[in-house]
Chains A and B, each alone.
Chain A
Amino acid sequence: GDSVTQMEGPVTLSEEAFLTINCTYTATGYPSLFWYVQYPGEGLQLLLKATKADDKGSNKGFEATYRKETTSFHLEKGSVQVSDSAVYFCALSDRSGGSNYKLTFGKGTLLTVNP
């Protein structure tokens, strides 16, 4: 079945540091890939997405590139802020095999950014 593996963390960085959170996936078909963010006490918010190989999703300074050859979708940001402190989830949606667009999530990575 489908699965997502991401760096578990926790990750602690200083403000303005570079962020990478690794994510790799296994899927039977050709999935769409997502990063969701969960701020403390809140629900899941879509951060960015990519639907085909070599697509780059970007939002709020975050980027991730769909790499089919390495089955990866690593999240990066050049300069993190304290307000980026949250849990980040990598996820995929695979329509093959009759799957009706359900999301399969990684375990989440807690990011803490210190001033």
Chain B
Amino acid sequence: EPEVTQTPSHQVTQMGQEVILRCVPISNHLYFYWYRQILGQKVEFLVSFYNNEISEKSEIFDDQFSVERPDGSNFTLKIRSTKLEDSAMYFCASSFSSYEQYFGPGTRLTVT
């Protein structure tokens, strides 16, 4: 069964450094998403991406964040200058239609 994959599974970085989180969505999916889950809190929407552009973003997704689908298979989330409060589990998701989003296993980002 096809699945969404994410790399790395765990990323440790120092405050102020740039990080890129990578995702490979399911191959025929059209909609792509990033969510994050701070430890012990709810899963929060960051951004959605469709037809090679951002279709919606949350207040969390400020100028420090960007997304890209560079080669038709990968979907990346970049944080330009990480802060301590960016420490969280980041989930990528993809869907073919509006109804079912399939999630990857997540990348745990630790900012020190």
Contact = CB atoms under 8 A, between A and B. Distances in A.
A105 B42 contact: yes
Contact of B102 (A46, A49, A95, A101): A46
A108 B41 CA distance: 8
Contacts of B18: none
A108 B98 CA distance: 22
Given A100-B56, A102-B48, A43 B103 contact: yes
Contacts of B25: none
B55 interface: yes
Interface string A103-115: 1111110000000
Contacts of B31: 100-101
Nearest to B104: A43
B105 A102 contact: no
B101 interface: yes
Interface residue SS majority, chain B: strand
A105 B43 contact: yes
A93 interface: yes
Interface in A75-115: 89, 91, 93, 95, 98-108
Contact of A102 (B45, B100, B103): B45
A106 B106 CA distance: 18
A89 B103 contact: no
Interface in B74-101: 91, 93, 95, 98-101
13 contacts: A36-B103, A43-B104, A43-B106, A44-B103, A46-B100, A93-B99, A101-B31, A102-B48, A102-B58, A104-B45, A105-B43, A107-B42, A108-B43
Given A32-B99, A44-B91, 8 more contacts: A89-B43, A93-B99, A100-B56, A101-B95, A102-B45, A102-B56, A106-B42, A107-B41
